[in-house]
Protein backbone atom coordinates (compact mmCIF):
# COMPACT_ATOMS: atom_id res chain seq x y z
CA UNK A 1 0.00 0.00 0.00
CA UNK A 2 1.44 3.36 -0.98
CA UNK A 3 1.19 6.41 1.22
CA UNK A 4 2.43 9.96 0.83
CA UNK A 5 3.18 12.27 3.73
CA UNK A 6 3.39 15.99 3.11
CA UNK A 7 4.97 17.97 5.92
CA UNK A 8 5.74 21.62 6.44
CA UNK A 9 7.76 21.88 9.63
CA UNK A 10 9.51 24.61 11.57
CA UNK A 11 12.54 23.36 13.47
CA UNK A 12 12.82 25.12 16.82
CA UNK A 13 15.44 22.81 18.36
CA UNK A 14 18.06 21.89 15.75
CA UNK A 15 19.88 19.43 18.04
CA UNK A 16 16.71 17.48 18.83
CA UNK A 17 15.66 17.50 15.19
CA UNK A 18 19.04 16.11 14.11
CA UNK A 19 18.69 13.28 16.65
CA UNK A 20 15.17 12.55 15.35
CA UNK A 21 16.34 12.65 11.72
CA UNK A 22 19.15 10.17 12.39
CA UNK A 23 16.75 7.72 14.04
CA UNK A 24 13.95 8.01 11.49
CA UNK A 25 15.95 7.72 8.25
CA UNK A 26 16.98 4.06 8.81
CA UNK A 27 13.41 3.15 9.79
CA UNK A 28 12.04 4.69 6.61
CA UNK A 29 14.63 2.83 4.52
CA UNK A 30 13.93 -0.46 6.34
CA UNK A 31 10.36 -0.42 5.06
CA UNK A 32 11.24 0.71 1.54
CA UNK A 33 10.33 4.34 2.08
CA UNK A 34 11.99 7.16 0.23
CA UNK A 35 12.03 10.92 0.27
CA UNK A 36 10.51 12.80 -2.65
CA UNK A 37 11.68 16.39 -2.77
* Spatial CB neighbours of 27, under 8 Å, sequence gap ≥ 6: none
What single string gives the DSSP state of each residue in 1-37? -----------S-HHHHHHHHHHHHHHHHHTT-----
> Residue 1 has what pLDDT?
80
pLDDT digits (tens, 9 = 90+) for 3-29: 999 999 999 999 999 999 999 999 999
pTM of the entire predicted model: 0.64
Indicate the domain borders of the chain: 1-37
- The reported pLDDT for the residue numbered 17 is 96
The model's confidence at residue 33, banded by pLDDT at 50, 70 and 90, is: very high
Amino acid sequence: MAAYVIADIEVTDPAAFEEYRQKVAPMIAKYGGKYLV
